[in-house]
Structure 1
Amino acid sequence: MISRVLPMVRKTARCLTGLGIAACAAILATPQAQAVHPAHWSYRTEAQYSTGTFDGTVVNNYGQLMLGHPVNSLLPDGKFTFVNAMVHGLHGGIYFGTSPDGKVYRLTGGKVTAIYSPKGAAVQVLAMAINKQGQVLAGINADGKGELVKLVPQAGGGFAHKKIFSSSVVRYIWCILPMADGSIYFGTGPDGAVWRCNPKGAAKAILHTGEHNVMALLNAGGGHIIAATDGAGLVMRYSEKLKKARVLLAANNAEVDALAIDEQGDIFAATASPVLAQSGGGAFKPQGTSNGRPVAVMDESGMAGAQRQAGKPAPGKPVARQHVVKMLLAGPRPLPFPHTGHVKSNAVYQIEPNGRTSVLLHVPDMVLSMLYSHHHLLLGLSGHGRVVSYDPITQSRSMVVFSHSCHDIMCSAMGRHGRVYFGTANGGQIFRMEPGFAPTGAYTSKVLDAALPAIWGSAHVDAHLPAGASVFIRTRSGNVKNVQQLGRFWSSWSAPMPANSYRTISSPAGRYLQFRITLMSGKAKASPVVESARVNYQQLNVPPVIDSITATKMAGKPMYSIKWSASDPNGDKLSYHLEYKQQGIPVWIRMHASPDNSPYAWNISGLPEGRYRIKLIADDAADNAPQTALRVARETRYILVDTQSPQIAQLKATVKADGRVQVIGVASDSGSAIVAVAIQVDSQKHWQPAQASDKMFDSPLEGFKALTARLKPGPHRIVVRATDSQGNSGYASVLATVR
């Protein structure tokens, strides 16, 4: 039968106006079916924010949302595919190399000019650098040959080019390191060598790493060059004086694509293994740290208290930065040089001047570029157009999303006045990140799914607001998930609701919600900081669902086994009631109440014969107010209640000459078909089936006959049993004497 919704109490329109509950961004826990109570989405972690869209905002590893650096895109959209390498000119302007068109461009004053177009059918510009004379160096793959080209600015504004290295053995020049004496080091593949070109232009391979490609080079000072490879992920230190190399790190068979160095001589090496990358789905994780924020606690003299107690440094002397690093990173470290254990993700390694090596940060994606600037590492990641700013001292981290249309941050370069430039691939673009923070920015959550139609409660943003700054939240709702294409069917963005207050969401009831947090610095000299955001919601109560109800006659007993299956989309606790009524009588009689869906055995022995229907009622009153509780019902087909035994008449036994006995008679039943007749001689265990007169037992009136085996002389009692389709049996007996 069809399910019917039966409101226990008529719902009023007011149930749509006041109830509220939670909704706020990348779900703290994915909404699942649950009883109709207030629920919420809460945003307070980096992982939760990472599912949304950033516009002039960043989130750090403490889950704080704030204004980001001002970021501008500098290239026309769609013109370039890969910006592989980039360098800032000594006198301004950006030089960058591309593929697949394989040219060197200059960007200055918003104008892009090609300054070098190598010849060849397949050309890639893979590396760039600039020497102290302001000459641009470009590493090029042209038709399978590796070339190093010098581009010299001319008085007329153009550039003269000079090919200073070309080799068919070398196909790729991955990195270039010009030195103060005019010599040039460059890393190559697939020969896996470091080459040196002296000031006179003579080139020679000075280090063969044993791997296929040298991906990065770094000047460590003191006559030492640092080289990083693919394959085993070796980081090697080469001594110009000794003409020898030493392995500092073997990075778990993950190629090292980026190197950086800080003021203290600590070297940072970042890996870019596609096997270890998790496509942005993993989490950043500092190595060897517990929960909470590591901080340096300073006393009035500017000293770190823990170090002063240990006697370092002397009283009154400011704490040197490297001392704070050692204090804050004094937790457990991986195995020291030359191997750092079984790291299962891409990572940033720290190599100290004394040779100690440790994992500084686990990274979910490939690190394709890295800069050290103002005590922070800037990591350019693969996928999702993201840059991570990481402070090795406090282990604080913030993430900048430039554009979801630009996938990989391939290169980076320091500019003037604290500006940093980033080049991207799979959507070739150059982004310029300014110092300071943007005057305004916004964060938009992903589409949040309440799983069922819902009403919205309050929205609350917990924010720190410097004087003059402001933060507010807006919402919109809809009943289709694809807001990108079907946003016209959503409500408009609501009026702004200020932070640090609880405001009722005005968006219409629906299944889906989205929120946008806007941050404005105003006259403040610092960014407002959102500590958390929370949006409350409550699913509208929907009726339970009864999937099935069955009634099966129990063999040999005057009982039916009643089973059912039901559920509630809201996850409400259900209670059940069973009722029955006889055909032709308009009265339902309750026979059972159950708090669960355990089968029920219905005893029909006291019921009049006839056809009956069973009804199951399921209600969710246990988890809902009377005004909103709902119930549904489902009925079985008519079932036959027949508790009377069949009758046996006209029973007659005839003794044959050979000693066998033939038994005949008629079996009948008032309500059910006769389905079997059998005989038993002298109470033996065996029942011998009889034969229907019309060859089949299938009606309420059946004649039958049976022939026994040869019996011994003397009297014999023969019992006849007739059984109907409801399992009821009737008995009769007859006496036969064999002579």
Structure 2
Amino acid sequence: MVYDSRLREVNAIAVDPKGAIYAAVIGQEGELPSPPPNLPQAPPEKEAQPPTKGPLPPPVVIPGVESGATATVTVTASAAGPMTAPSGPPPKSEVCRVDTDGTVTTLWSSQSEIAYSLVIDPSGRPVVGTGEPGRIRVLMGAQQSTLLARVPESEVTSLIAGQGQQMFAATSNVGRLYVLDAANSESGNYLSPTCDAQTVSRWGRISWRASLPAGGRVELATRSGNSGIPDATWSDWSTAYANPDGSAISSPAARFLQWRARLTRPGSGAGPSLQAVSVAYLQANLPPSLRRIVVEPPGVVRERLAYAAEPEPQDLAFTGIRVNPDGGAPSAQPPPIPDKKIYVRGMRSVLWEADDPNGDTLTFDLLFRGEGESAWKPLAKALRESFFALDTTQLPDGLYRVRVEASDALSNPAGQAKTAAQVSDPFLVDNTPPSVQVTVKKGGREATLDVSATDTPGPIARAEYSVDATRWVPIAPTDGVSDSRAETYSITLGGLRPGEHTVIVKVTDLLGNVGAGKAVFTSE
């Protein structure tokens, strides 16, 4: 075995005059090589017996090895560990060179094209024919190639070197036969792949770098459209741009752009060479995207970090806990907010998810208003993070909403910024504890307590009582379910010792506010 490729199939082989072997191999994207099969142990070798009948097969001629010469091959194997595949997905196809000393070099690889044919040209260079699309490339070195021809058929299935500098190429889908010769044309065109600006963009200037012999000329033209493959909806080709230092692109604003280069050589002299093309463009600014706003349960806030003063604090009546970046220059991605949470009575945390399709840096303004109000009031300005904790102890009880406004003004010139806004679901602010009244009916060493509890903003969640500072005991309301703003309870105490007793009843509403009432009585 000369070479074991990580891809599954060898599609073509060619040998150059120096004896180097070139192999075009193909595989499926993401395919890993199969593990070697478990081969049975070979039996002990026996002395070879010469054949008694039949002619001997002809010797195999290996280019670069003289007839009658011998070669010694040493194979070293080890069992240091399991075989692992190279990192990253394997290419769809590649061309490798195996030198006479066994060194393997990958000359060309592609995730999109498949190498179907291979030949050595009269200059000793490997030429590969690919498919989907059909192309003929000459390989100049490791990962360096020059495109010789692009054919309308989908596959170049065979390449054969002809006389002199001629080369024949056969294609499929549909079948055709082409002849490539060494004659140079006075001009040639190159069509670039479509350039994707990701969104509708305005085109700036196009410039290029080229080597021009005396009398040589390079001209470029452009066209644009909003489909990934040029079609009838694209603009016509522009007039030629002749200034390599840069010309304003006349194609209309669109998402995709394609350029075409025309190279012209003077008479029989050397032709020009185009090395690089640069296209400037400005994406149309798109508004930020606000996906959702979440108001967390009462008292749950993120870990407190040092924060800078609010911009124009004299204009803001309500403050809160804010997580601030390091206070340095703006960055497109603010630092992540710690996941650790703490409980702070009266705080309500607001979180939101936002991004920008242009990758712009976003800032957020927060506003709020109560139920039944029409005007939004400022809460926080120019936040860089998507989190804010509001101190609700400064607000009257009731239902409130928060409005988040996102802006990309930090990344755009004045007058070109975009904004987006979203409003949260209503959330309840309740800082008033339930009101609790306790009455006692005595009867010897027993007592019955009648308890009534009311809470104005929200429903009552639970109730507990303690006799003479003993442990808290939960009690159920008389209707069995704690689900309303007014609940009644009945407690019967028996086996009381003679003397004074104190009973405390503690009632907690849905937002954690606690109210208490007590009764002091004497048992006989």
Cα distance in 2 between the residues matched to 1:482 and 1:257: 31
- Aligned partner of 1:362 in structure 2 is 107
Per the TM alignment, residue 465 of structure 1 is displaced from its structure 2 partner at its CA by 2.1
Query: Is 1:570 the equivalent of 2:358?
Result: yes
Q: Which residue of 2 aligns with 1:420?
A: 167
The residue type equivalent to 2:407 in the other structure is D
Q: Which runs of 5+ in 1 are unaligned?
A: 1-231, 233-249, 280-335
**What is the CA–CA distance in structure 2 between the aligned matches of 1:541 and 1:588, rounded to whole Å?**
27
CA-CA distance at 1:446 after TM superposition: 2.2
2:183 partner amino acid = G
Matched, 1:615 2:403: yes
Distance in 2, matches of 1:536 and 1:443, equals 20
Distance of aligned partners of 1:557 and 1:423 in 2 relative to their CA distance in 1, 3 Å threshold = same
**Aligned residue in 1 for 2:183:** 436
1:206-605 equivalence runs, <5 A:
232=1, 250-252=2-4, 258-260=13-15, 262=17, 266-275=18-27, 338=73, 346-351=95-100, 358-359=103-104, 362-364=107-109, 366=115, 368-373=117-122, 375-383=123-131, 384-390=133-139, 397-403=145-151, 405-415=153-163, 418-425=165-172, 427-483=174-230, 487-523=231-267, 525-555=269-299, 557-593=345-381, 595-605=383-393
Structure 1 CA distance, aligned partners of 2:393 and 2:455?
A: 17
Q: 1:700 to 1:470 in 2, by over 3 A?
A: same
Change (3 A) 1:396 1:482: closer
Distance verdict in 2 for CA 1:638–1:350, change over 3 Å: closer
Show the counterpart of 1:128. none
User: Tell me, what secondary structure is at the counterpart of 2:275?
Assistant: strand
- 1:662 corresponds to: 448
- Residues 499 and 676 of structure 1: is their aligned pair in 2 closer, same or farther, counting only changes over 3 Å? same
Equivalent position of 1:35 in the other structure: none
Q: Which amino acid aligns with 2:234?
A: W
The residue type equivalent to 2:457 in the other structure is G
CA contact (8 A) 2:10 2:26 kept: no
* Cα drift, residue 626 of structure 1: 1.7
Shift of 1:411: 3.5
Instruction: Provide the C-alpha distance between the structure 2 equivalents of 1:499 and 1:340, rounded to a whole number of angstroms.
Output: 60
Q: 1:380 to 1:624 in 2, by over 3 A?
A: closer
- For the residues of structure 2 that align with 1:255 and 1:639, how far apart are their CA atoms? 67
Distance 2:383 2:502 in 1: 53
CA RMSD of aligned residues (A): 3.3
Equivalents in 2 of 1:594, 1:718: separation in Å?
52
1:278 Cα deviation from its structure 2 partner: 7.6
CA pair 499-348 structure 1, distance change in 2 beyond 3 A: farther
Write the distance in 1 (CA, Å) between the matches of 2:166 and 2:279: 37
Shift of 1:251: 3.7
**Could you tell me how far 1:678 is from its partner in structure 2?**
2.3
8 Å Cα contact 2:440/2:450 also seen in 1:
yes
Tell me the alpha carbon deviations over residues 434-482 of structure 1, each in whole angstroms, 9 at most, x when there is no partner.
2132222222222222112211111112112223322222222222224
Counterpart secondary structure, 1:569:
coil
Deviation of 1:396 after TM superposition, in Å, equals 7.5
Indicate if the aligned counterparts of 1:647 and 1:730 stay in contact, CA closer than 8 A: yes
| Worse overlay, 603-612 or 705-714 | 705-714
Which structure 2 residues correspond to residues 665-704 of structure 1 after superposition, within 5 A?
665-692=451-478, 694-704=479-489
Q: 1:549 to 1:654 in 2, by over 3 A?
A: same
- The offset of 1:566, in angstroms, is 0.9
Offset at residue 677 of structure 1 (A) = 2.6
**1:711: Cα distance to partner?**
2.9
**Kept after mapping to 2: 8 A contact 1:376/1:391:** no
SS at match of 2:394: coil
Aligned with 1:622: secondary structure?
Answer: helix
**Are 2:520 and 1:735 equivalent residues in the alignment?**
yes
Does the C-alpha gap of structure 1 residues 507 and 607 become closer, same or farther in structure 2, counting only changes over 3 Å?
same
What is the one-letter code of the residue matched to 1:724? Answer: D
Residues 468, 524 of structure 1: 8 Å contact kept: no
Counterpart Cα distance in 1 of 2:509 and 2:25:
76
Asked if 2 retains the 8 angstrom alpha-carbon contact of 1:653 and 1:734, the reply is: yes
Contact 2:403 2:421 in 1 (8 A): yes
Equivalent AA in structure 2 for residue 666 of structure 1 = S
Relative distance call for 1:618 and 1:409 in structure 2 (3 A) is same
The verdict on how the C-alpha distance between 1:495 and 1:579 changes in structure 2, with shifts beyond 3 A counting, is same
Which protein has greater RCO, CA pairs closer than 8 Å, 6+ apart? Answer: 1
CA distance in 2, matches of 1:611, 1:360: 71
Amino acid at match of 2:158: M
Verify the 8 A CA contact 1:565 1:597 in the aligned structure 2: no
Q: Which of 433, 440, 445 pairs up with 1:653?
A: 440
Aligned to 1:536, the other structure's residue is in SS state: strand
Query: What CA distance in whole angstroms lies between the structure 2 residues aligned with 1:600 and 1:495?
Result: 55
- Contact 1:380–1:410 (8 Å) recurs in 2: no
1:58-97 residue CA offsets vs partner (Å, 9 max, x unmatched): xxxxxxxxxxxxxxxxxxxxxxxxxxxxxxxxxxxxxxxx
Residue 737 of structure 1: how far off its partner (Å)? 2.2
C-alpha contact (below 8 Å) 1:467/1:523 kept by paired residues = no
Change (3 A) 1:515 1:591: same
**Distance between the aligned counterparts of 2:406 and 2:140, measured in 1?**
59
TM-score (normalizing by structure 2): 0.71
Gaps of 5+ in 2: 31-70, 78-85, 300-343
Q: 1:337 to 1:530 in 2, by over 3 A?
A: farther
User: What secondary structure does 1:267 align onto?
Assistant: coil
Q: Tell me if structure 1 keeps the 8 A contact 2:500–2:520.
A: yes
Q: Give the conservation status (yes or no) of the 8 Å contact 1:459–1:503.
A: yes
* Closer, same or farther: CA 278–551 of 1 in aligned 2, 3 Å: closer
Evaluate the alpha carbon distance shift between residue 733 and residue 357 of structure 1 in structure 2; reply closer, same or farther with a 3 A threshold: closer
Contact 1:674-1:702 within 8 A present in 2 as well: yes
Cα deviation per residue 1:80-137 (whole Å; 9 max; x = unaligned)? Answer: xxxxxxxxxxxxxxxxxxxxxxxxxxxxxxxxxxxxxxxxxxxxxxxxxxxxxxxxxx
Closer/same/farther in 2, CA of residues 523 and 402 from structure 1, 3 Å limit: same
Q: Is the 8 A contact 2:12 2:25 kept in 1?
A: no
Structure 1, 610-619 or 527-536: larger mean CA deviation: 610-619
Q: What is the TM-score normalised by the length of structure 1?
A: 0.52
* Percent sequence identity over aligned pairs: 24
CA distance in 2, matches of 1:473, 1:571: 31
For the residues of structure 1 that align with 2:147 and 2:420, how far apart are their CA atoms? 51
